[in-house]
Amino acid sequence: MHARSNKVSSTPETRTIAVEVLRYQPGDATTPYVERFDVPFTDDMSVLQGLQHIKDRLDGSLTFRWSCRMAICGSCGMMIDGVPRLACHTFLRDFWPGPLRVEALAHFPIERDLVVDASDFIDKLPRIKPWLEPGVPLRVRAGEHLQTPAQLARYESFSHCINCLLCYAACPQYGLDNSFLGPGLTALLHRYNSDSRDAARAERMELVDSEEGVWGCTAVGYCSEVCPKHVDPANAVNQNKTASALSWLVRLLPGRA
């Protein structure tokens, strides 16, 4: 016990792990290829730091996205040993002795190395109206638009989404047909629909009920497993299946237009 605490205070032990990166350089090659790098690491190093070591010391052409290093910007999502994870939120030590395989997020086109083309997601984003539409004009003089804790609880977990796209890389239905709105955007849509200050639910439900909407989901449920913010997009999608089915039944009732 004593020896171990001494070790923590001294220089941390350095080990080496082989990192296999799926590389794609659109200017030089027509298909991706695997390149292996030996990365020295200490127990406190993330996969992102490993990639930064490669870029700084071994091959400056390695391309990947990152920003905050603390699992809040959602930039460094990638497949790490086949699982969608944030590279900054994953330790190299957990994969020792390796080798560790790193690949761009599944179900998106690879732009270059570990960078994906996320324009499908970005293009769909405004269609869910990810903002509050109060319905009636609000005046600043009227003061804050108050909510009870219970009203907050209805949507709060769905507001934690950081748009990291891990849930899309976990969704085979999106991979097979990307016209599907997908887990993340449905969770965000549900966040606004569940907000007591919003009045645009009817418009958003048209998208939920459409061919691109929730019925593309087959309840695989992996999206919720990989979400680093515990948003539970599978729950958002399936709650909206219930809502969509109910509104369809109501439309079948006689006496309604």
Binding site for other proteins (CB under 8 A): 24, 26-27, 31-32, 82-83, 106, 109-111, 117, 153-154, 172, 175-176, 218-222, 224-225, 232, 234-235, 238-239, 241-242
Min CB(218)–other proteins separation in Å: 8
Beta strand 115-116 with 100-103 is unpaired
Alpha-carbon Rg for the chain, nearest whole angstrom, is: 22
Which CB sits closer to other proteins, 163 or 224?
224
Which CB sits closer to other proteins, 22 or 132?
22
Min CB(255)–other proteins separation in Å: 28
Min CB(234)–other proteins separation in Å: 4
The rounded distance, in Å, linking the Cα atoms of 251 and 257 is 8
Which CB sits closer to other proteins, 173 or 210?
173
The rounded distance, in Å, linking the Cα atoms of 151 and 154 is 5
Which CB sits closer to other proteins, 49 or 195?
195
Where do the H-state alpha helices sit in the chain? 2-9, 47-53, 119-124, 149-155, 166-169, 172-176, 183-193, 201-209, 222-226, 233-252
Residues contacting 156, CB < 8 A, separation 6+: none
Min CB(20)–other proteins separation in Å: 16
